[in-house]
Chains A and B, each alone.
Chain A
Amino acid sequence: MHRRSPVATILLYLALALTMVFFLGPILWFLALAIRPPETAFARPPVFVFEPTLRAIKHTFVDPGANAQHLTNSLIVAFGAVLLNLPLSIPAGYALSRYRLRAKKYIMLWYLGLLMAPPVAFLIPYFILITRLGLSGTYISMVLVLQTLTVPFSVWLLKSFIDDVPVELEEAARVDGAPWHTVMRRITLPLAMPGLIVTSMFAFVFAWNNAAFPLVLSSGSTTTLPIGTLGYFATSGVTWNFIASAAVAAMIPPMLVFLTLDRFVVRGLTLGAVKG
């Protein structure tokens, strides 16, 4: 490697610092909003140093806990979506990884196409259908329609993980007379377990971060965290501390998932197409 001039080094560090400030600054600014005294929220010039207060967090999640139920709802919907997602996408990912199918390319692209569909186009029909089925405002209605996102994503990602499990192990078991479902259950799936966990965690983030479906399908008692927060905009004298408090709670789970899965982030974000 050739050596860098000191000026170039300084410029590079400057660029690095600027990148951090630009991309993390807004997040910290929003975190600060959740714990700053309300009167400093829109102060000009901005107030960077203040005495933190937990009032907004207490109000939103403890007493009276205006958003506590929304947090629970978000968890129920996202976990529900992941649970229903697994039995649907595991067999499909396995089939697409292990079998020679002439239509494989088209099936994969069909799943991909679903992922590109505009969610808003589905909102009106789902709204009317779910209402007619008497399911409006239920968790199950949200869990069900979220499968249009989680399943295509999971099938792609799981296929890439199952591709990594050496097929020779399965063949050896099959020679010993084990039927395909035993092979899948006893050999492939345990070996692909890390992939299953990674896929489930990303699917959780997908479901957790979706706002379009709960916007239309949830009711007051089943609404998710970001949608529940919308209520604050409707009241006069917007209570930004509460919005930030609820929004920060909505940010934390996906951030934790990404930090935990650091090594798999590239793979997850590209549906398994880039091994990273």
Chain B
Amino acid sequence: MPWLLLAPSITLLLLLIAFPLFFALYNSFYFWNLQMSPQPMAFIGFGNYEQALGSSTFMLALRNTLLLSIGGTAIQFALGLAIAVLLTQTLRGVTLVRVLLIMPTTIAPIVVGFLFRYMYDANGGLLPWVLQVLFIPLPAEGLLGSSTTALMSIMFADVWQWTPFFAIVLYAGLLSVPDALVEAARVDGASRWTILTRIKLPVIKRTVLIILMLRFMQLFNTFDLVLILTRGGPGASSRTLSYSLYQQGLIDFNIGVASAMTWIIVLILNVILAIYIYIAFRDWEW
């Protein structure tokens, strides 16, 4: 009986993911440029994999992606935790702040891209002006036009959008920690920092792990922001794996190489996911 209930969704999802995966697997062994032919053109074994892994841009994209996902997740967690603690203080207006704070998270990432492209604009954007007022030096090509700041600018937009997510979820978590536990620690003379890191966070470990995982994976797949803000440039300085894949497949129409990259990315993601599942879901009751 339960299988009958699960069947419709599992069948549709299997069809929807099995097709792309097999499609990619098959074509990853063929030379195929969609502009030259509507069909795969020649069997070339692992040639596409060699080309994908051998190119310096792929390694750069992998480095950028890891930098973005690890850096972004860490900053958002730290900043979100600080705001969550701030929200637990008895202050007037704190409820209103909590309700409105989540707004950036609700916006479509592509729209956040529009917003920050306007904010970053080298000729009259608000952020360059703010930085100038604060005497912070800017690259002459603009924040998005310089290879030293392009990736950081993408990360900054993501931090803006998703820090509230961490803040709101961690705030709810901190509130759920039993008062008695905190009181006991305080009587024992524990500092606020110790109470936060040694008692509260371990108690809400499950929450912490799941949001870290969700965010890391979303950041790993970052595409919309790159598409709108930098198109991976200048050069390949802000290219992520997802954007590389898009460029290879839907701009250059190299379906063969893109298919090989798809499988490389899927394998990397599965390894990361497996590690996460092992850590985060070990003592999970289903």
Name A's B-contacting residues (CB within 8 A): 1, 9, 12-13, 15-16, 19-20, 22-24, 26-27, 29-30, 33, 41-46, 87-89, 91-92, 94-96, 98-99, 101, 104-105, 107-109, 111, 113-129, 144-145, 147-148, 151-152, 155, 180, 205, 208-212, 215-216, 226-227, 229, 240, 243-244, 247, 250-251, 254-255, 257-259, 262, 265-266, 269-271, 273-274, 276
CB <8 Å contact, B100 and A24: yes
Rounded to whole Å, the gap between the CB of B23 and the closest CB of chain A is 4
B207, A211: Cβ atoms closer than 8 Å: no
Q: Are B266 and A121 in contact (CB under 8 A)?
A: yes
Asked whether, in the complex, the Cβ of A205 is within 8 Å of the Cβ of B106, the reply is: yes
| Given A42-B125, A113-B273, A119-B223, CB of A258 within 8 Å of CB of B106 | yes
Q: In the complex, which of the residues B129, B265, B269 contacts A46, with contact meaning CB atoms closer than 8 Å?
A: B129
In the complex, A15→B87 CA distance in Å? 10
**B3: which A residues are within 8 A, CB to CB?**
95
In the complex, the answer to whether B111 meets A250 with C-beta atoms within 8 Å is yes
Partner of B123, one of A22, A27, A42, A226: A42
Contacts of B173 in A (CB 8 A): 274
CB distance from A93 to the nearest CB of B (A): 9
**C-alpha spacing A265/B4, complex, angstroms:** 31
Check A125/B124 contact, CB under 8 A, given A118-B269, A258-B102: no
Counting from the closest, the 8 A-B pairs by CB-CB distance are: A42-B124, A125-B20, A209-B108, A99-B2, A91-B5, A95-B5, A211-B110, A95-B2
Flag if B242 contacts A211 (CB, 8 Å).
no
Is there contact, CB below 8 Å, between B269 and A116? yes
Query: What residues of B have a CB within 8 angstroms of the CB of A104 in the complex?
Result: 286
Complex Cα–Cα for A1 and B242 (A): 50
Between A and B, 23 residue pairs with Cβ closer than 8 Å are A19-B83, A19-B97, A23-B164, A27-B104, A46-B124, A91-B8, A95-B3, A98-B2, A113-B270, A114-B17, A116-B273, A119-B223, A125-B20, A129-B19, A129-B23, A209-B107, A216-B250, A266-B168, A269-B105, A269-B165, A269-B211, A270-B214, A274-B169
Interface, chain B (partner A; CB < 8 A): 1-6, 8-10, 12-13, 16-17, 19-20, 23-24, 83, 86, 89-91, 93-94, 97, 99-111, 114-116, 118-119, 121, 123-126, 129, 160, 163-165, 168-169, 172-173, 206-207, 210-211, 214, 217, 220-221, 223-224, 227, 241-243, 245-246, 249-250, 255, 258-259, 262, 265-266, 269-270, 273, 277, 281, 284, 286
CB-based contact A148/B106 at 8 Å:
no
- Report A263 CB to chain B, min CB distance, Å: 10
Q: Tell me if B23 and A120 are in contact (CB < 8 A).
A: no
A4 CA to B246 CA, complexed, in Å: 54
A118 contacts B265, C-beta separation under 8 Å: yes
Q: Are A16 and B172 in contact (CB under 8 A)?
A: no
Contacts of A115 in B (CB 8 A): 217
Roughly how many angstroms separate A276 CA and B171 CA in the complex, as a whole number?
9
- Output the nearest chain A residue to B165 by Cβ-Cβ distance: A269
Specify which of B5, B12, B116, B214 lies most central, judged by the most chain A CB atoms within 10 Å of its CB: B5
Contact (A270, B169) CB under 8 Å given A20-B100, A114-B13, A116-B217: yes
| A33 touching B258 in the complex, CB below 8 Å, given contacts A91-B6, A152-B13 | no
Question: How far in angstroms is the closest Cβ of chain A from B3?
Answer: 8
Q: Are B103 and A117 in contact (CB under 8 A)?
A: no
Which of chain B's residues have a CB closer than 8 A to the CB of A30?
A: 114-115, 118
CA distance A161 to B176 in the complex (A): 19
Pair A92/B10 contact, Cβ less than 8 Å: yes
A109 to B286 alpha-carbon distance, docked (Å)? 11
Q: Report whether B249 and A124 are in contact in the complex, using a CB–CB cutoff of 8 Å.
A: yes
* Shortest Cβ distance from A99 into B: residue: B2
Q: Which residues of A contact B206 (CB under 8 A)?
A: 273-274
The distance in angstroms between the C-alpha atoms of A120 and B224, with both chains bound, is 10
Determine if A23 and B123 form an interchain contact, defined as CB atoms under 8 angstroms apart.
no
Query: Cα distance A191–B83 when bound, in Å?
Result: 36
A16–B286 touching, CB < 8 Å: no
Cβ–Cβ < 8 Å partners of A45 in chain B? 129
A118: B residues at CB distance < 8 A: 220-221, 223, 241-242, 245, 265-266, 269
Contact call A117/B111, Cβ cutoff below 8 A: no
B24 touches A254 (CB 8 A): no
- B108–A208 contact, CB under 8 A? yes
With a cutoff of 8 Å between Cβ atoms, the chain A residues found around residue B259 in the complex are 124
Are A250 and B106 touching (Cβ within 8 A)?
Answer: no
Chain A residue, CB-CB nearest to B96: A20
Shortest A227–chain B CB gap in Å is: 8
